[in-house]
Structure formats: structure tokens, C-alpha cells
Amino acid sequence: MLPIDGKVIGVIGIENDRGFQMADRPRFGPAGVPPSFKKLKASLTDVPRLLHEEGLDAFEYQAVRWGGEPKIKMEVAKQLEAEAKKNDVWLSLHGSYFINFGGAEEVVEASKKRLIACVKAADWMGAHIVVFHPAFYGKKTPREVFKNCLKAMKDVIEELRTLGINKVMLGPETMGKLSQFGSLEEILGLCENLEQTKPVIDWAHLHARDMGRFKKIEDFRKVLEEIEKRLGKEAVKNLHCHFTKVEFTEKGEKCHHTLEEEEYGPDFAMLAETIAEFKLKPVIISESPILDMDAIKMRETLKKIYNY
């Protein structure tokens, strides 16, 4: 079926008018290699095929412990890209945890290098977005940290231009701990002011940060409406999301839980309702302790109510 709002590129995605690809339908996959694949001694390049066999169609490669250079060989990244295309798996990359644009000058400079290393590798493997945690507040005010993030990300984007990398988006993520920069407001504020940037909505983090904000469908709807109001229809239609159930304290996120654990939120069925209602095409990455198993569950939940 030909989508009406863009042209088809290979088997995956639709290109928008700024040259970025958007998912062609709701897609689901794990954050990192599932434990069962590791037991099979599968290599990284086997992952897309194994996900495809499970009925999944997205994968977030984890570069979370990287420093200033890519830790994957270009050749392996290219093989991963080929396998992902062959098996219709949408790739994203979770960037280094060692990024803090709120830190001292030398920390910010090292953080820029780390983010750029992640984007380079994402470009090699054809990953569409580099998800990252922008900053900690430390002793600074939220306003100061916002300005620091904006400045640092502008520098990174400029460097990406020089490198000719223009297909990979930067994805600042909504964060779950109150010590971390990354409220919905802050993340949307960055995206409003930057090219080549889109928000990564981690629903569990928003839930934890705002002390259990998702109690009914309306609570999800409000977030989607806010994104649409600030960033436009396309942004809300093509969200990159993380989902898991989460436990929190007064400081925010404590730990992740599986979908089966009813005492924790948020409830994926409610998000699924809004995805169907708004006819969205999000990429939803499962960060549940049982990664792919819960990605399959989420997909099934959505499929029941939304024939995409």
C-alpha cells in the first residue's frame, strides 16, 4: 500500500520533506539484545532475523557505555543495516550514558564527542535516531541547564553538518529522576529550537517523574496533544517511544517492571487506545526486564484494537 504522505524508501519507512525517514506503521522492539538471543549465542547481525521471527520490527542498539569513539566496527554496523533492511526491522541507537551537557566545560566538550561518536555509528548502521539523556541539573537552575543543552546540541548539529550526517536525528529523552534534566516541557523546548532533533517520549519516565501521572486515557491524550501543539502533527504521528512499567519514589524512577505486574503503571492498554484514536505510527521500544516478550505483548494489545 502506498502511503499518501511521503514516498516509500526500500522496505522501511517514509521520507518526510526534510529528508528524514518516518516509520510506516506502529513498530515494536526491544532495547538491546534479548536474553533468549544471548542464550542462543546469536551474534549482533542475527538479531534482526530473530526479531522478525518473533513478529517484531524495531531494535534499539545499546551504545550506553561508549566513550569518545564508536565501539562497533563500521563493517559490522553495515552488516547490521543490511540484515535490518532484509528483515524489515527499524533501527535506533541508545547513546552513551556519559553525556552531561549541564556539567563543567570539559564535561560538556567530552559529552559532545561521545554524542557525535554515537551518531557516527548510527549513520553507519542506518539507525534513524540517537536517543540520549541530555543532562543532570547538579547545582545549576533548570533554566541554565536548558540553555547549556541548547548550546551544546547546536554545536553537535553543526559538527554533524560538517561530517555530512543528515539522516540521523538527535533524540533527547524525557527522564525519570528529578535530578535529571528532561521534563516533557524541557524536551519539547529543545526540539522547538533545534534542527535534526525530535523528542523521545519515555512514558515510564514521565510517569515516575510526575509521581504517577498516567491514571486514565485522558492523561496520555494530554501529552500527545501537547506534543502536537508544540511540534506539529508529524512529530506526534511519528513518535519514538520507550515503554515499560515503573516503580518510583519521591525522587522519581526507581526500577522497571514487566507488564504483567499489575501494581505498577503506566498501563499500555491506555496508550494503545490513544495510538488507535490518533492513528499514530510510533516506534515503541520495550525497556521491560523481559524486553522482547513485553514488546510482543504490547504489539498484540495494539493489534486487538487497531488494524494497521
Smallest Cα–Cα separation from 119: which of 63, 79, 175?
A: 63
Per-residue CA distances from 104 to 109, 154, 178, 182 (Å)? 9, 17, 20, 19
Interacting span for Zn ion (CB under 5 A) from 6-14, 69-77, 166-174, 229-237: 166-174
Residue 116 or 175 with smaller CB distance to Zn ion: 175
Q: How far is the CB of 36 from Zn ion (least distance, A)?
A: 22
Q: How far is the CB of 212 from Zn ion (least distance, A)?
A: 20
Choose between 26 and 171: whose C-beta lies nearer to Zn ion.
171
Burial 166-183 (b: 16+ CB within 10 A, else e): ebbbbbbbbbbbbebbbb
Name the nearest CA neighbour of 182 among 252, 238, 117: 252
User: Within 10 A of 251 (CB to CB), how many other CB atoms are there?
Assistant: 12
Q: Single out the segment in contact with Zn ion by CB under 5 A; choices: 20-28, 169-177, 207-215, 299-307.
A: 169-177
Span 5-64, contacts to Zn ion by CB under 5 A: none
Q: How many chain residues interact with Zn ion (CB under 5 A)?
A: 1
In the bound state with Zn ion, the residue whose beta carbon lies nearer, of 57 and 287, is 287
Q: Minimal distance in Å, beta carbon 257 to Zn ion?
A: 16
CB of 173 to Zn ion, least distance (A): 5
The burial class, CB within 10 Å (0-12 / 13-18 / 19+), for 210 is middle
In 63-139, the DSSP E strands lie at 90-94, 129-132
The least distance separating Zn ion from the CB of residue 252, rounded to whole angstroms, comes to 13
Give the integer Cα–Cα distance in Å for 160 and 149.
16
Segment near Zn ion (CB under 5 A); pick from 12-20, 49-57, 75-83, 170-178 = 170-178
What residues make contact with Zn ion under the rule CB under 5 A?
173
